[in-house]
Amino acid sequence: MTAPTVPGALQQGVELARKDLRLELRAGEALLVTAPFGALALLLVPLAVGSDVPLLRQVGPGLYWVVVVLFGVLVTLRQSAVDNPAQQAMLRLCGVHPGVRLAGRAAANAVLLLAFEVLLAPVAVLLYDPELSGWPWLLAVFPLVAVGLAVLGTLASALAHGLAGRTTLGALLVVPVALPLLVGATQTLDAARYGRAPWSWLLLMLTVDLAMAVAVGLTARHLEEST
């Protein structure tokens, strides 16, 4: 009798990410609830400022990334990303490493955040009419911000697991650490607008992503034991 093949860590992470994405598709918390609120937040600023087109064009990209960071935190802390004790016990019995579980959740969060960014981008363009001369750099900025926020949100969610104020505490943990991502995203577009290659800002965002990924890997076992 052939022994059953144990899936590798990569396959386990992919399956866990797919599970989270399926749950999100059923719940619709990120794309059906959070995304419309993010679009509404972008709409409120022109209503408050008025028809000052040059001002809106100038502040539009920055406001877009502020909305992405603030509402993106809610995407990573959605209720569909919470495992109940029975699910956690099953994963332990199946031999899934805590780091793999968190990596799978971070991957699902990154996919949702990337979709969130793409959905909000046309709204920002229509409302603010920003300068788009450096738009090809967004192909690098979008995934870097999405991955960074996803890993940060996953780590904050694990730290605040089981607490009554999980969403509020998670946001307080994520937003200050996410400031380099916000600065890097806005400065990348500013540098491209003036014809400069924004490699230093992209490197800053990549460094934040890698540092948070290492932090998740180092603390995953401890976080699993504490829950």
Q: What is the pLDDT of residues 140-176, one digit of tens each?
A: 999 999 999 999 988 888 777 656 666 677 777 788 8
Helix locations, 2-137, DSSP H = 9-27, 35-49, 53-76, 85-93, 98-128
For residues 111-124, give the mean pLDDT.
Answer: 93
More confidently predicted of 193 and 70: 70
DSSP sequence for 36-66: HHHHHHHHHHHHHH-S-HHHHHHHHHHHHHH
Q: Show the CA angle centred on residue 182, arms to residues 81 and 53, nearest 5°.
A: 115
pLDDT value, residue 208: 92
The answer for residues whose C-beta is within 8 angstroms of residue 75's C-beta and 6 or more apart is 29, 30, 34, 109, 112, 113, 116, 153
61 within 8 A of 191, measured Cβ to Cβ: no
DSSP letter for each residue of 162-225? T-TTHHHHHHHHHHHHTHHHHHHHHHHHHHHHTT---HHHHHHHHHHHHHHHHHHHHHHHHHHH
Residue bearing the bigger pLDDT, 20 or 146? 146
> What local confidence, expressed as pLDDT, does residue 143 receive?
95
Query: Which of 135, 1, 8 minimizes the C-alpha distance to 64?
Result: 135
Q: Which DSSP category does 135 fall into?
A: G
Give the list of residues 6+ apart from residue 11 with CB closer than 8 angstroms, or none: none
The reported pTM is 0.85
- pLDDT (tens digit, 9 = 90+) per residue, 182-220? 999 999 988 887 778 889 999 999 999 999 889 888 887
pLDDT-above-90 percentage for the chain: 25
Q: What is the pLDDT of residue 60?
A: 85
Which of 190, 184, 202 lies closest to 131, judged by CA?
A: 190
Mean pLDDT of the chain: 81
Match 């935190």 to its residue by tokens. 73
Most confident of 70-74, 126-130, 198-202: 198-202
192 to 50, 97, 196, 200, 208: CA distances (angstroms): 28, 42, 5, 12, 21
**pLDDT greater at residue 120 or residue 96:** 120
Alpha-carbon 186 to chain mean position: 16
